[in-house]
Amino acid sequence: MIKGFAVFRMDPKIGPQYVYQSDTIETVTHQEVLAIFATHNLFREGFRGVHVSNRTWATYVFPPWIIALLLGPDEPIGPLREPMKKILNASSLPDEPKPEEWKNLYHDLLVEIQSSPVADLLTSKKTTDFLKEMIELDILYFDPHFSFEIGATYPAADHLTGLNSYDTRLFLEKLTLAGIFTSEPVIGVTHCPICLGFKVVSRLACPQCSVTALDVVRYPTSKEGGSQKANTSGKPMELFYSCLTCQHTTSEPVVTLLCTECGSQFQPDEAAYRNMDRLVLNQPIAEGLIKKVEEETSD
């Protein structure tokens, strides 16, 4: 469920600001404004998800504006990408839109988002052809593969649909909502709690000064007669890291996570996690749908 609409702009004199919000939003915090701008990484164009202050936004850069939709707690972000792109690229906003024009844009976005119900998909020949091919090839499920760009992908389904990975996943998500597939969690993946991106890498930091510039791994040595020589006892040797900034040496560096999409750094317990699901075909429902559509089209 879409809970509201807001518009942001970077003012060269006073910095990031929001310029409009729908009546359904009481306020937009300064923290949310900063997070939304940081997520788009110096005003980089494109679609992003932003989670901040326990609220989730779907945002799209439409220079000089950032258009944002406030989402309900269970609203998926991915399906909003194409409707937002379509409506914004087709719009003809003036240089300084009035509140009524922003209100009309919000209305157009809602209409477009709600114009592709699952019911329309279930009468599509493309869908029944896809399901018939699955059954003929004895494909009972699709396993997920991980993509840094969009998270879960289904390459085996891409081959059948002829669509790109993102559109195939949206297609499968709609069929899952209709009960044609059942989702079974396979593995959880880490993503950024700020921009919801998947390009997250781990880094080791110095526990004393928090700097991530650590020297190469070195082994401990044993001392004999005041001199050091390499440990050749064959016993397990502990690994050490030396900080290039404060010279502190430790065998237990701190693990931090970095999002290479928006630049956010956070601890592992602050990360967001999302399941990648195996999609299992509900064959009786699929066969019933195929039969129903074929009967309707033959009349």
Mean pLDDT of the chain: 82
Report CA torsion sign: 124, 125, 130, 135.
positive
Nearest to 277, CA basis, from 201, 190, 189: 189
% the chain with pLDDT above 70: 86
Q: Which two tokens stand for residue 106?
A: 């919000």
Q: Which two tokens stand for residue 162?
A: 């002829």
All structural domains of the chain, each given as residue ranges with its CATH number in brackets, are 2-113 (3.30.450), 118-187+274-298 (1.10.10.10), 200-272 (no CATH)
Q: Which residue has the tokens 């009524």?
A: 100
Q: What is the pLDDT of residues 85-127, one digit of tens each?
A: 889 989 988 888 999 999 999 999 998 887 754 445 666 788 8
Distance CA 79, CA 83 (A): 8
Q: What is the pLDDT of residues 24-71, one digit of tens each?
A: 898 888 888 888 887 776 445 678 888 887 888 989 988 888 999 998
Q: What is the pLDDT of residues 257-297, one digit of tens each?
A: 988 877 788 888 888 888 899 999 999 999 988 888 888 77
Q: Cα–Cα distances in Å, from 144 out to 53, 74, 194, 275, 276?
A: 30, 21, 24, 10, 6
Cβ partners under 8 Å of residue 38, min gap 6: 194, 262, 263, 264
Position 140 scores a pLDDT of 95
Q: Which residue has the tokens 């006892």?
A: 233
Q: Are the C-beta atoms of 69 and 4 separated by less than 8 Å?
A: yes
Q: Is the pLDDT of residue 220 over 80?
A: no
